[in-house]
Amino acid sequence: MRRSVPVLLAAVAVTGSLAVPAAAADPTPITSPYVQAAADVTAAGVLKRAKNIDWVRHIDTGRYCVNVSDQVNVAFSIVQVELPNSNRRSFSTAASSVCGANTVTVFTYDLKGSYVDNPFTVAIL
């Protein structure tokens, strides 16, 4: 019984250190030649995969700012946002006063029109 206590304490120490959230790692690159910029974003606004996207900011429930790198001009591009949930909807717009220049503002909401956090992908063609 006494031998199991140190093993248990070591297991708790390892588990505790894994439970601490780490700083966000660099997103996995998207290498598609058919888009100028693209992003795969979690509901919390974490950038998982990206091409020519500098950062994403979750500004409020169901509202996100996606900053596009300077080599892409959003004003002369087509923006497409997709959600994995069929019972959710999205809307995107180019730069706004909230997000700033060369950004895409993404709104996600449910079928009743209430803002909800939702993962999404954005492609800029």
Listing DSSP states for 52-94 in one string gives SEEEEEEEETTEEEEEEPTTS-GGGS-EEEE-S-TTEEEEEES
Query: What are the tens digits of pLDDT across the range 90-122?
Result: 887 766 788 988 999 999 999 899 999 999 999
Query: What are the tens digits of pLDDT across the range 60-77?
Result: 999 999 999 999 999 899
Query: Computed from CA positions of residues 38, 28, 65, 84, in that sequence, does the dihedral angle turn out positive or negative?
Result: positive
Whole-model pTM: value is: 0.76
Q: Measuring CA to CA, how many Å separate 95 from each of 4, 19, 31, 101? A: 59, 37, 25, 5
